[in-house]
Structure 1
Amino acid sequence: MGKTLMFLVTLFLTTMAAYPTHAYEDDGKPIVDPNIEIPLAESPEADDYNRNLFKGYSDRDMKHFLETCMMTWECGRVIYEEILQNKRSSDACCREMLEKGKDCHIAMARFWFSLYEYKQYASRAIPKSYIVWDRCYRDVGPHAPSA
């Protein structure tokens, strides 16, 4: 447990330094055109980059982090579509994200947007992940009106 906590703290702090989130204003425009599928870069360079990015972490720590913080594939996709394309997440997916916790949500956003395929979006997407968290918390969090 201690190593996993250290991993999360290290991941959070290193990406905080790389992608500062202060003074961000959401202009309301999607980061990626909502009419297209989010592109994936598949190449040997992308694979090497991603492998080297997490070289310092043990497989056990990465597995525990992913098991602790990873959402279902469907809800993870929906949340990232809201971050990147302004496609509103369902209440069910917001609840799933809230159940994982804000630290997991932010660490997961920093994880995904440090990968080769998504790093080009990091400067806008990481701050937007806070906005998505706040919207979900406001709409379906513990103090939200019951449906």
Structure 2
Amino acid sequence: METVSQLSIIFTLLVTTFIASPISGRDIVVNRFDDYVADPPEGDIFVDPPQAEYDEKLLTHFPTGYKEFLENCSSKMSTKCGTQLFKVMFEDTEVTRECCVSLLRMGRTCHVALVDTVFRTYEYKDDADVGFPRSRVAWNVCARDYGEEIGAPVPLEHLNVT
């Protein structure tokens, strides 16, 4: 059974949200922050939340084939490891040996691309100043502790990656 990382799930949800259009005649209208109406009264209009517009524009700026590249990258890691690596960007937690090896096998190009994409989204853009450094630390610790098992990947500080 093919496994999919948490980042793949998030990316897929973001992508499908960007390209989905409202169902004609059955739009959801936000009258108040917590009040959702399935069948709006005449005169109400559908208003996309600001994050939808932001993320839709983000998606249009991806080069041709980049979405497929990201999907291919995320397919190289189990959901368990994807979730663990996602959490390490926001919480003080450790990455298991299994997930470190999975991360290193996925490769630094995929790692950097997935992390960059996550922190370009509306929901996580304000967390980039904390998340990017934590993702670098996770990569570097994994490379230091388990890199020899798969061919000693280069720590990120030697790559001029921000």
What's the TM-score, normalizing by structure 2? 0.56
The aligned runs of 1:52-131 (5 Å cut-off) are 52-57=57-62, 60-70=65-75, 71-131=77-137
Counterpart residue number, 1:47: 52
SS at match of 1:121: helix
Cα offset, 1:45, TM superposition: 1.8
How many residues end up aligned between the 2 structures? 102
The alignment-based identity, stated in percent, is 25
1:68 and 1:134 map into 2 onto residues whose CA distance is: 19
The aligned runs of 1:5-44 (5 Å cut-off) are 44=49
Structure 1 stretches (4+) deviating beyond 6 angstroms? none
* CA RMSD, Structure 1 to Structure 2 (Å): 2.2
Which protein, 1 or 2, shows the higher relative CO under an 8 Å CA cutoff with sep ≥ 6?
1
Of Structure 1 and Structure 2, the greater strand share is in 2
Counterpart residue number, 2:38: none
Of Structure 1 and Structure 2, the greater helix share is in 1
In structure 1, list runs of 5 or more residues that go unmatched: 1-42
